[in-house]
Amino acid sequence: MAESIMHFNASLFSQYPDFLDHLTRSIGDAKPDLFLLYEGLQPTWVESAWSFLETQHEGLSIRKTFNSKVGVFTLHLMPAYLHDSIQPWHAQCQMDWYLNGMITLDESLDLHAYTGTTLKFREGPYCGSRKEPDVFIQSIFVKIPTLVMECGWWESSPALENDVNLLLVGGNEAVKRVFIVKWTKHPDDYHVSGFIKVFKLDRNGMPIQEGPIHTIFPAPSNSQDQRISIRRKDFFAGSPYANINPNGMLDYPIDPLRKIAALNLDRMGLTPST
């Protein structure tokens, strides 16, 4: 597996057909885990390209984001096993909540997890933006998810911060938490380290990091105690369950993610850093 990023500016394309031809060729030549980034495109070009990809490349796994505020259109093609470790992690945690009596059967059935589904931002500073998150959790009672998880290898810190701002601010305070999972392959092209950061809005509506950085690999000495906790009233915000034991905590222990990620690294011919 050789993840890579390709960065292009709108000045390369004199008209929309030139951009679409470039995009189509890039997708056709793509290897697994390719990340395309286009800056400065006209929103109408992005909207047309988005629709084209939805109809012409629906069989290919592509997760797209358009951030209208910063003018960046990104596409992640054919994510690898490690990238998708967060999906079974959430499923396992949600099952544990039910088995341990932290949520009822009805609450569990009313929580749905989605991957790559398009979220549209129709108002505020991010009006016109779109995003297909790696994972988001949404109650059947709300139109916008309360929890979003994003995962990446190659994105820079500013790019990840743009994702956080888009989701938290663009979500008009409906998104309560964003998990950012960041993986890094070492120069030996074999060992991989990783961590998770959690973000929320402060009282002034500005994104801030919540809690410490949670190291995944190398596993810290307190690995069994690592967990991310979310209050029920934040997780179930907007649903009838929000006021039932509102300050009760729903935990995401890091160890299960560590085990899933280690399995997926082995599938990719890689290994966790120690």
Burial class (CB in 10 A: 0-12, 13-18, 19+), 126: buried
8 A C-beta contact, residue 237 and residue 258: no
Domain positions in the chain = 5-77, 81-272
pLDDT category, 31, cuts 50, 70, 90? Answer: confident
22 HSE (CA, 13 A, CB side):
18
Q: Does domain 5-77 have CATH number 3.30.1370?
A: yes
Q: Which CATH class is domain 81-272?
A: alpha beta
The per-residue DSSP string of 191-236 comes to EEEEEEEEEEE-TTS-EEE-S--EEEESPPTTGGG-EEEEEHHHHT
The reported pLDDT for the residue numbered 1 is: 39
**Which DSSP state fits 17?**
H
pLDDT category, 154, cuts 50, 70, 90? Answer: low
Q: Positive or negative, the Cα torsion across 213, 96, 93, 138? A: negative
The reported pLDDT for the residue numbered 28 is: 83
8 A C-beta contact, residue 39 and residue 12: no
| Rounded Cα distance, 179 and 190, in Å | 25
- Whether 58 has a pLDDT exceeding 60, the answer reads no
Helices 43-56 + 16-28 axis angle, to 10:
40
pLDDT category, 42, cuts 50, 70, 90? Answer: very high
Mean pLDDT of 9-37: 90
Burial class (CB in 10 A: 0-12, 13-18, 19+), 236: buried
Using one digit for the tens of pLDDT, what is the confidence trace for 70-116? 999 999 887 788 989 999 999 999 999 999 999 999 999 999 999 98
Confidence (pTM): 0.91
Percent of the chain having pLDDT more than 70?
96
